[in-house]
Amino acid sequence: MNIRTLTLLFVLFLMTACAPKFDYINPQTNEPKLDHIIVVYDYLHVVDDVGKLVDYPEDKNMEQINGLKNVIETALRDKGYNGSIDFALVSSGLGLNPENGFEHYLQGQLQEELIYPPFYLDSDYQESFQYDLMTSFADAQSVAFVPVSKKTQEFYDDLRMNSLYFSESETAISPKLTTDSRIGVFHIRAVMPRISFMKAMGVSLLSVGLTAGATGGAYIGIATPIGVAHSTGLLFDNRSGAVIWKNQANGDLSRFGPQANARFFKGLPDLN
């Protein structure tokens, strides 16, 4: 084994040894009793090309959105959750600046009009509650990127997320959304950017918010690392606001194999 190989192995060892830990499990909620889970998830895949703008391939994003949903369903099932699951909001590009246009590709063909974030939103709930879900999602991203260490463990133990409040219109869609039910809010995000460093810089610097029709253009900020594929997950108890579990990893969760998915959700406690 030559010196260059030994040096490379040593550097890789140091990188692994010093890698920050992001998986958090609340010691007070090893087996949370939840009646219902609200899922909010976002998938984003963008691609660089020879032009000045970044491309948004709609077909690929829709394909991976469905793949990510399957990953979430499998993870919850494997953790023994037998209650009801409500995919309350699915999106693509949540958190990118809505004024930042992308070239829109559909079935491999460039469309005449630019497309603006968020590129896709789907929910059965009214816009005001969608906005609440988006706000909660943004809060979850800022929490997910904080490493877990001896110094931050107490921070996570004491942290309380903002609870969602349900009106008659929400409970009409899902009767489980009542003050008597124990609701878990599950946020999942996967981002796969295939873009050059300079374009990634531009996208990241402009990735400061989103708009919702019911808010008159209010902005919500979500952190977007520069050009790095990453996935985040966070589950909290809506009644208490306590974070039950969270994790962040490099890579696109929708493209992980079964073993990698199992590792990502390993710390997620059995839910019932």
- Which pLDDT belongs to residue 142? 83
CA–CA gap between residue 263 and residue 67 (Å, rounded): 17
Is 145 a member of any domain? yes
Is 270 a member of any domain? no
Is 160 a member of any domain? yes
Is 10 a member of any domain? no
**Residue 199: which residues within 8 A CB-CB, separation 6 or more?**
48, 54, 227
Would you put residue 217 in left (φ > 0), alpha (ψ -120 to 50) or beta? left
Is 89 a member of any domain? yes
Is 9 a member of any domain? no
Q: pTM (2 decimals)?
A: 0.84
Is 15 a member of any domain? no
Name the residue range of residue 38's domain.
20-264
Whether the Cβ atoms of residue 210 and residue 220 lie closer than 8 Å to each other: yes
- Which pLDDT belongs to residue 205? 37
* Burial of residue 55, with CB atoms counted within 10 A of its CB: 0-12 exposed, 13-18 middle, 19 or more buried: buried
Q: Which tens digit of pLDDT belongs to each residue from 94-131?
A: 888 788 889 999 999 999 999 998 999 999 999 999 99
Percentage of the chain beyond pLDDT 70 is 79
Residues in the chain, how many?
A: 272
Asked whether the predicted pLDDT for residue 148 surpasses 90, the reply is no
- Which pLDDT belongs to residue 226? 56
Bridge-based pairing of strands 109-110 and 243-250 is: unpaired
Least Cα distance to 165 among 113, 238, 272, 227 occurs for: 238
Is 116 a member of any domain? yes
Q: What is the mean pLDDT of residues 72-91?
A: 89
- What are the distances in angstroms from CA 44 to CA 81, 120, 188, 229, 238? 27, 10, 12, 10, 26
Whether the Cβ atoms of residue 61 and residue 190 lie closer than 8 Å to each other: no
Torsion angle, alpha carbons of 244, 256, 121, 224, to 10: 70
Q: What is the mean pLDDT of residues 167-178?
A: 91
CA–CA gap between residue 48 and residue 51 (Å, rounded): 8
Number of domains in the chain: 1
